[in-house]
A and B are shown apart, each in its own frame.
Chain A
């Protein structure tokens, strides 16, 4: 069983659509990270949050600690948003494997 589950695995949207990617986790955490990975490229940190909501441009991330759930929203999606979005949680307990990673959501935004 994966400690972090993301849905959907794949998502295709028309330009301008509102997009939601979900992340559920099963361990106690100190923080949750949303990462973006472009094809053939590196990984960029989008958000780190431990409560509430954060907004950066057209991206919004929310977390519900009680429900162990986070969502990443993209408003007015654009083809340049096409990437893999990865949810990662930092375990509250320093076990050596500090982060658990989801398998990613592959987003394609069509013009």
Chain B
């Protein structure tokens, strides 16, 4: 099993550009999450999904969109990149909503200039 796979690893965007961060998991997990990690801060939840076709906002959803057309994939879309979106992004998945380990991808380091 590959676990949770995130692409790309690094990306530099200009202000106003758009991009999609890809996330795929091969563990048949229902729950998937997108977090951002900023220096000195704990991970913040952007969006999450409890299964294919179901997504909901987390703590910091503004400027992002997600979709979950399959169990495996949970892409994160940035439509109009802003410098405030410079961060490290982590995708994660878990088997259930309660008491199962979180599995993280390796992260995407995004810089918006």
Which of the candidate stretches A12-20, A59-67, A96-104 sits at the interface with the other chain? A96-104
Q: List 11 A-B contacts (CB under 8 A).
A: A2-B42, A30-B99, A31-B99, A35-B104, A42-B106, A45-B101, A96-B48, A97-B45, A100-B42, A101-B43, A101-B44
- CB of A103 within 8 A of CB of B98, answer no
Segment at the interface with A among B13-21, B56-64, B73-81: B56-64
Q: Which residues of B contact A103 (CB under 8 A)?
A: 40-42
Query: Using Cβ atoms and an 8 Å threshold, which residues of chain A touch B102?
Result: 33, 35, 45, 88, 99
Question: Are B99 and A48 touching (Cβ within 8 A)?
Answer: yes
Q: Are A31 and B98 in contact (CB under 8 A)?
A: yes
Contacts of A96 in B (CB 8 A): 45, 48, 56-58
Contact with B along A39-57 (1 / 0, CB 8 A): 0011111001010000000
* Residues of A in contact, count (CB < 8 Å): 26
Asked whether any CB of chain A lies closer than 8 Å to the CB of B97, the reply is: yes
In the bound complex, CA of A100 to CA of B42 (Å): 8
Q: Which of A35, A43, A90, A99 contacts B45 (CB 8 A)?
A: A99
Q: How far is the CA of A45 from the CA of B107 in the complex (A)?
A: 14
- Nearest residue in B to A101 (C-beta to C-beta)? B42
Asked if A4 is at the interface of the complex by the 8 Å CB criterion, the answer is: yes
Could you say which of B57, B92, B105 has the most chain A C-beta atoms within 10 Å of its C-beta?
A: B92
A43 to B45 CA separation, bound complex (whole angstroms): 15
A43 touches B99 (CB 8 A): no
Closest A residue to B98 by CB, please name it.
A30
